[in-house]
Amino acid sequence: MTVAVLFARSDSIYKTLPDVDVYDIDRDARTWSGDGPIVAHPPCRAWGRLSHMAKPRPDEKELAVFAVNQIRKFGGVLEHPSASKLWPAMGLPKPGEVDCYGGWTLPIHQHWFGHKAEKSTLLYIVGCRPGDEPPMPMVLGLAKYVVASSLHRNKKATWARPEIPDAEREHTPPELAVWLVELAKRCSKVAA
């Protein structure tokens, strides 16, 4: 089974994985034919905690709405930051709830999958029941790095951890990419 990865980076790890059809900025995800499960990484800056300071492209905010609608129709998983405003805007369920599409939310930390920073993340999943997802690693303790935060800019604080470089913020850890593809393969096409 082939999994479509929508809104991947041009230098995405997904391009090295088997059974994956990758849509990056050059291969517009909106042209995807809709023939199987999805892993979606729509741009988040228009939906994030700092969206008031972001300068997204004019059509960028709608890409996440498109991704949610495709996942609801074909099954799969959407990944976004834990503070994403996409959840209330699209009526996505809180952890522990299930929506009318059979969709549910799984909170994860990307450092469980090898990211240098904790990177608290929400996954919206349709077509796979809770408990049917692949085994998930869990790492206890703090990550060695943080994503930029005003709380962590105080380098004099003894609890402050170094920030990851800008270039590493958007990259999906290889272990997480493999896990998300396996999760998407377990998601069946869902009737609207």
Q: What is the pLDDT of residue 171?
A: 81
pLDDT at 77: 98
pLDDT of residue 65: 95
Query: Burial code of 51-76, b = ≥16 C-beta within 10 A, e = fewer?
Result: eeeeeeeeebbebbebbbebbbbbbb
Strand order in the sheet with 104-109: 20-23, 3-6, 38-40, 76-81, 120-126, 104-109
Measure the CA–CA gap between 176 and 170, rounded to whole angstroms. Answer: 13
Q: At residue 53, what are phi and psi to the nearest 5 degrees?
A: -105, -5
Domain ranges of the chain: 3-137+171-185
The two tokens of residue 44 are 């988040």
Q: Where are the alpha helices (DSSP H) in the chain?
A: 60-74, 86-90, 166-169, 174-185
Please tell me the predicted confidence (pLDDT) of residue 78: 97
Q: What is the pLDDT of residue 191?
A: 41
Amino acid type, 61? K
User: How big is the CA angle at 3 (ends 42 and 15), to the nearest 5 degrees?
Assistant: 75
pLDDT for 135 equals 95
Tens of each residue's pLDDT in the chain, 192 residues: 899 999 999 999 999 999 999 999 999 999 999 889 999 999 876 666 655 666 667 687 899 999 999 999 999 999 999 888 999 999 999 999 999 999 999 999 988 898 887 788 999 999 999 999 999 988 888 788 777 654 545 555 546 778 877 767 778 889 999 999 999 999 976 543
Q: What is the pLDDT of residue 152?
A: 46
pTM score: 0.88
**Phi (first) and psi of residue 106, to 5 degrees:** -120, 115
Q: Are the beta carbons of 43 and 24 closer than 8 angstroms?
A: no
CATH number for the domain formed by residue range(s) 3-137+171-185: 3.40.50
